[in-house]
Amino acid sequence: MDLYLPVANLSVNALVIVLLGGGVGFLSGMFGVGGGFLTTPLLIFYGIPPTVAAASAATQVTGASVSGVMAHLERDGVDLRMGAVLVAGGLLGSLIGAGLFELLTAWGQIDTVISVLYVALLGTVGTFMGREAWGSYRAAQAGLPAPARKRRHHPMVANLPLRWRFYRSGLYISPLAPLLLGMIGGVLTMLLGVGGGFIMVPAMLYLLGMGTQVVVGTSLFQILFVTIATTMVHALTTGAVDIVLAGLLLLGSVVGAQFGARFAQKARPEYLRLALAVIVLLVALQMAVGLFIRPDEIYSVQ
């Protein structure tokens, strides 16, 4: 079933896009991530212009994170104060990201920067996550309790001036740290079309030292608002949000996410984390290979 995308200016097979959204949604529901890091590369691979892919993927992540945020709010799993600081940083970051986007586009390096960022981020996070998940997997196999993680924020965070109390997170730290973190998340959302959950969650755990029970909820809270902001910024600057494309992706992903969440309740968490690490590393590898082999198109028009 062919459908013309009015902003991307090309025809796509609607069913393929819905299924793609469904697959990503399933994974995002299963792992509690937005899934933008899969959507954008897959869309680009399908032939959608990178800018449109990143902008529309951000819109999709909004829809995918709604139900998660609501569930976590009900369970009091969101540190609203921390969330607000992160969102403020995220808004700042998406504006900075918009500036960077324009600059890099004019310079002609946006595609390369997107690919390099993907490889660096996904490679690092995937390796980190994989090692950690492998450790707990081995521990679970041996019947031992999972190795206890020491919960302390990074010394760099402790040195920042000004301190606020974040009761739900159990922290007394400078708001500048989450502000900065939110800002980085915002820039990445704008450039890559990712929610940034795969960076925010480890950063909140290992850099800020937040309590585990609020990490995922707060991260989803931040992702929800920052992807809303980036959709708006994209709509106002690049004009690259394709509402038809986003709608198709959403249709698949919101349904897929529900099935994914259901599936996740039955699976062992250390298996899930290991599987996510493998997927993240595969995407990173695919992107890295793309940088080094001769591309199909040497010339591009802008």
Partner 1 sequence: MMCRAALILWLAALMLPVGTAKAADPRLVPDVSSRAIDIQYSFTGEELLLFGAILYPDQRLPDDRADIVVVLKGPMRPIVLREKRRVAGIWVNASSIRLRTSPGFYAIGSSRPIDKLVDERTAAIFELGLANLSMSPTEFSEASKLQRFEAGLTDLYRRLGLFYENPAAVEITEGVLYRARIPVPARVPVGTYRAETFLISRGRVLAVASRDVQIRKAGFERFVALAAQRHGFLYGLTAVILSLLLGYAASAIFRRR
**Count of beta carbons in the 10 Å neighbourhood of residue 105:** 16
Whole-number Å distance between alpha carbons of 150 and 239: 45
Q: What is the dihedral of CA 108, 112, 118, 123, to 10 degrees?
A: -150
CB closer to partner 1, 58 vs 187: 58
- By CB under 8 A, name the one of 207, 235, 279, 285 that touches partner 1: 235
Single out the segment in contact with partner 1 by CB under 8 A; choices: 109-117, 139-147, 158-166, 196-204. 109-117
Asked if 44 and 53 touch (Cβ cutoff 8 Å), the reply is: yes
CB closer to partner 1, 174 vs 231: 231
135 sits near partner 1 (criterion: CB under 8 A) = no
- By CB under 8 A, name the one of 109, 147, 268, 282 that touches partner 1: 109
Binding to partner 1 by CB under 8 A, coded x per residue (else -) over 57-76, reads --xx-xxxxxx--xx-----
- By CB under 8 A, name the one of 228, 276, 283, 287 that touches partner 1: 228
Q: List 2's β-bridge partners, or say none.
A: 13
Query: Quick one: residue 91, left, alpha or beta (phi over 0 = left, psi -120 to 50 = alpha)?
Result: alpha
Residue 293 burial (C-beta neighbours within 10 Å; 0-12, 13-18, 19+): exposed
Whole-number Å distance between alpha carbons of 230 and 54: 10
4 sits near partner 1 (criterion: CB under 8 A) = yes
Whole-number Å distance between alpha carbons of 251 and 19: 9
212 sits near partner 1 (criterion: CB under 8 A) = no
Binding interface with partner 1 (CB under 8 A): 2-4, 6-7, 9-11, 59-60, 62-67, 70-71, 108-109, 111-112, 116, 228, 231-232, 234-237, 239, 241-244, 246-247, 250-251, 254-255, 257-258, 291-295, 297-302
